Copies of this chain bind each other. A is one copy, B any other.
Amino acid sequence: MCQLLGMNCNTPTDIVFSFEGFHRRGGLTDHHADGWGIAFFEGCGCRLFIDDRSSVDSPLARLVRDYPLKSTNIIAHIRKATQGEVKLANAHPFMRELWGRYWIFAHNGDLKDYQPAPGQYYRPVGCTDSERAFCAILEALRQRWDAPPSEAELFDALAALAADIAAHGVFNFMLSNGAFLAAHCSTNLHYILRQSPFNKAHLVDDDVTVDFAQVTTPNDRVAVIATQPLTDNETWTPLSPGEFVLFKDGEPARRQGKQP
């Protein structure tokens, strides 16, 4: 299975520390070596880096580790292919435009017998269940609304779509349009909120510690969401199966489904 990493903040923040541990799961501390990718929103613009090499060997991953891009919404993915061969067109995250904004999606899981009809507005380029699900979600939203609905309406629609698709199998995913980051848990997803007073954090996958008090301001608020906790000296909150959370400005703003 793949691994997911997301970050949602109230002020542009770099993901260098979390990515340092996360990218090691792509071929070094875990077996997810079939490609990787990461997307950074800057305002409504988005940088998308994808690679069909393992994140440990990738010159692109080295760039991401060395170049502290600051962003309020980041989604990263390390791939262990379940459906669809190892090729660039199958690397997550995927990007599309809806209502004049870019949307980014990454998925961890496996959807069985999931073949939605070809969309009018959105069609997959690669051959993964994940991209089919992303296109189906955007298609449903676009068919229903010609312009963005309220955040509450959008959240309810996304929660219903996520539940429908999750009936086909394991559907942990993250979705962002640069304004929020939504996360759906099917089996495995954890998050942590970091805010003042900031403390030190130590990576699970590497002997690296950062003192966030040194690199933040008192008003910063950051939510980090990951398949498995990335640090071993902080308390990560697991999401429950079926839980869907919309993170905004570094904290959960809307949630639906059982809480643990």
Binding site for B on A (CB under 8 A): 42-52, 59-60, 63, 66-67, 87-91, 95-97, 99-102, 118, 121-126
Contacts and interface: CB of A to CB of B under 8 A. Distances in A.
27 contacts: A42-B89, A43-B87, A43-B88, A43-B89, A44-B126, A45-B50, A45-B52, A45-B89, A45-B91, A45-B125, A46-B89, A47-B49, A47-B50, A47-B88, A48-B48, A49-B49, A59-B63, A59-B66, A59-B67, A60-B63, A60-B67, A95-B95, A97-B122, A97-B123, A99-B123, A100-B124, A100-B125
A101 B88 contact: no
A45 B123 contact: no
A90 B42 CA distance: 11
A71 to B, nearest CB: 10
A125 B48 contact: no
Given A60-B63, A63-B59, A67-B59, A88 B46 contact: yes
A133 B63 CA distance: 32
